[in-house]
Amino acid sequence: MQSTLSQPQKAALPTKTETISGSKAVLEALIAEGVKTIFGYPGGAIMPIYDALYDYSDQLEHILVRHEQGGIHAAQGYARTSGDVGVVFATSGPGATNLVTGLADAMIDSTPVVAITGQVFAHLLGTDAFQETDVINITTPVTKWNYQVTDAAEIPAVLAKAFYIARTGRPGPVLIDITKNAQLQLFEYEGYKKCDHIRSYRPKPNVRKEYIEQAAALINEAKQPFVIFGQGVILGKAEKEFIAFIEKAGIPSAWTIMGMSAIPTDHPLGVGMLGMHGNYGPNVLTNECDVLIAVGMRFDDRVTGRLDKYAKQAKVIHLDIDPAEIDKNVKTTVPVWGDCKETLPMLTELIEPKVYPQWLQRFRDYAQQEQEQCIQPELHPTGEVLTMGEVINTLNELTGGDAIIVTDVGQHQMVACRYANYNQTKSNVTSGGLGTMGFALPAAIGAKYGDPKRTVVAVIGDGGFQMTLQELGTIMQFDVDVKILILNNEFLGMVRQWQQLFHDRRYSFVNITSPDFVQVAKGYHIDGNSVRERKDLKEALSTMLNHKGAYLLEVMVGKENNVFPMVPQGCSVAEIRLK
């Protein structure tokens, strides 16, 4: 409850109150927080909120998903393309447990989401009541904060806190569990006050000027500096500040999968993607740079490969809003705590304008080798079967890099992230940290609501599509204009690739059979097509993009193609293999 003592008491005017239900207070809070779209699924324990929602349909749009996991992934997609908080409703018990995967995904990818779950009556807690489950304790490890409300009077302040925590600092998911009695209870509502401060919570650390100075000095002395950046740039809404920084510094810059699209893919200083299936140059030269400047990224193991052989020669400058990330995986020479929206301009001011033509050329040379050995055969294959790369390449030609690309998880994800072009930020929506198959279809629905003017293409594998294809029902019911591009290799491709390379081709349960996806879509009144020949590809993609409303295009691609380059597990980034 909001402490009254902490608030400076204004003139003792009697506060105007009105008597409302807890449910109504929930919806008033959402409106006050600027929420327009809710993804959700009703059920017994959240019925009072849904009952109240009935009267709010002119202010709050509710998208009825087909499964709560779809609901939370949609909320994530919404958050990722809108830059604001995604909201999901679910009922108690199974409704709430179905959110867990999405919460974990949002937690590891720092996505601001507020999940509101109904709960059984407060007096039934702990009695194994119908659809009772201990949601707070189940979700504690996968939420930035969670709270159970048992009294309606708590609702305004708790929701204000929820939104504040979800969107500030390093964003993340928050879950509020509201017992049914609190939803029904009438209380004296004093209006909604947004939260702008919690005494025990410091969203961003204080910027230490001496570290900025030390970092600038290191950068100014560097001979071969290298910038690697992650989603922090996007979450901090610091794209402009970041570009100003690298352009003045003249430093080659590579993105993590989550940082992708923060700068245009064709930026002259952009040298590609880091990590296991990233580009050749940025991986190899990580182990040759003398100063490594990490911005809003967390040195995930898929980025670093073997840690004891990672950038050992370099002095490391780490800019991050989360102090717990500093020194977590990679030892930092200079830690620059703080929001990069603030720290980057401070750093830019202190650095000297420079260019590193020879150093940049080394990235280009590696790029050339990669082009010849990996990219050319993937994008312009001479064989009969289609490759995933040429599909993405053709898509680029048609969208001009303007589309939002939502990907699922696996080979198609790596190919899409390697080859898709992006002109603007918040264009790549993918499950990076958790690697959640089934993410793309529902996330694409949310992505479309988050940025309705843009084209949204969900690139999905035949395996992942079958995990959440029930959301075709949502697309049908709400006419959501998403383009579904299934890259079907009739395998669980990434696992198959690993089995081929590291398990002697013992293809253990990766051979997956699919239904006729076009017929499935048709069942949902969604138009579609399936192609397997090169001559049909461009036209099929064009038809998909120009189609009014949702469309499903299945492209049959080579069954046993592999994604390269690849840093094999347990190897250093410099040991990246081109084949």
* Site residues for other proteins per CB under 8 A: 1-3, 5-6, 44, 121-126, 136-137, 140-141, 144-148, 150-151, 154, 165, 180-181, 198-201, 322-324, 327-328
Q: Which residues 6+ apart lie within 8 Å of 152 measured at CB?
A: 21, 22, 25, 182, 183, 185, 186, 187
Nearer to other proteins among residue 189 and residue 356 (C-beta): 189
Q: How far apart are CA 494 and CA 413, in angstroms?
A: 10
Smallest gap, in angstroms, from Cβ of residue 28 to other proteins?
20
Nearer to other proteins among residue 192 and residue 201 (C-beta): 201
Nearer to other proteins among residue 71 and residue 236 (C-beta): 236
Q: Of 132, 128, 127, 136, whose CA–CA distance to 158 is shortest?
A: 136
Smallest gap, in angstroms, from Cβ of residue 121 to other proteins?
5
Nearer to other proteins among residue 177 and residue 462 (C-beta): 177
Q: How far apart are CA 73 and CA 367, in angstroms?
A: 35
Length of the chain: 579
Q: Find out whether 62 and 78 touch, Cβ atoms under 8 Å.
A: no
Catalytic residue among 18, 59, 130, 188: 130
DSSP bridge pairs for 173: 113
Smallest gap, in angstroms, from Cβ of residue 316 to other proteins?
16
89 a catalytic residue: no
Q: How far apart are CA 578 and CA 557, in angstroms?
A: 21
Query: Does residue 264 have a cis peptide bond before it, meaning omega lies within 30 degrees of 0?
Result: no
Question: What would the 3-class secondary structure string for 476-514 be?
Answer: HHHCCCEEEEEEECCCCHHHHHHHHHHCCCCCCCCCCCC
Q: How far is CA 237 from the centre of its chain?
A: 14
CA 451 → CA 64, 72, 167, 482, distances in Å?
Answer: 19, 17, 18, 12
The single residue listed with the structure tokens 């003792």 is 12
Smallest gap, in angstroms, from Cβ of residue 575 to other proteins?
26
Q: How far apart are CA 183 and CA 159, in angstroms?
A: 13
Nearer to other proteins among residue 198 and residue 556 (C-beta): 198
Q: Are strands 186-189 and 18-21 parallel, antiparallel or unpaired?
A: antiparallel
Q: How far apart are CA 517 and CA 554, in angstroms?
A: 7
Tokens of 20: 């409302």
Could you please report the per-residue DSSP string of 69-118? Answer: HHHHHHHHHHHHHHSS-EEEEE-STHHHHTTHHHHHHHHHTT--EEEEEE
Q: Find out whether 163 and 26 touch, Cβ atoms under 8 Å.
A: no
Nearer to other proteins among residue 157 and residue 518 (C-beta): 157
Which residue type sits at 418?
A: R
DSSP bridge pairs for 38: 62
Nearer to other proteins among residue 26 and residue 563 (C-beta): 26
Nearer to other proteins among residue 146 and residue 399 (C-beta): 146
Smallest gap, in angstroms, from Cβ of residue 136 to other proteins?
6
Catalytic residue among 24, 144, 161, 180: 180
Q: How far apart are CA 402 and CA 421, in angstroms?
A: 8
Nearer to other proteins among residue 6 and residue 513 (C-beta): 6
494 a catalytic residue: yes
Smallest gap, in angstroms, from Cβ of residue 122 to other proteins?
4
Nearer to other proteins among residue 146 and residue 474 (C-beta): 146
Smallest gap, in angstroms, from Cβ of residue 126 to other proteins?
8
Smallest gap, in angstroms, from Cβ of residue 246 to other proteins?
29
**Which string of b and e fits 194-230 if b means at least 16 CB within 10 Å?**
ebeeeeeeebbbeeeeebbebbbebbeebebbbbbbb
68 a catalytic residue: yes
Catalytic residue among 68, 239, 390, 471: 68
Nearer to other proteins among residue 64 and residue 122 (C-beta): 122
Catalytic residue among 47, 61, 121, 131: 131
Smallest gap, in angstroms, from Cβ of residue 462 to other proteins?
34
Smallest gap, in angstroms, from Cβ of residue 304 to other proteins?
16
Smallest gap, in angstroms, from Cβ of residue 42 to other proteins?
15
Q: How far apart are CA 475 and CA 256, in angstroms?
A: 30
Q: Of 406, 418, 420, whose CA–CA distance to 458 is shortest?
A: 406
Q: How far is CA 524 from the centre of its chain?
A: 27
The single residue listed with the structure tokens 């919690």 is 198
Q: Of 557, 560, 563, whose CA–CA distance to 540 is shortest?
A: 557
List residues with catalytic annotation.
68, 130-131, 180, 494
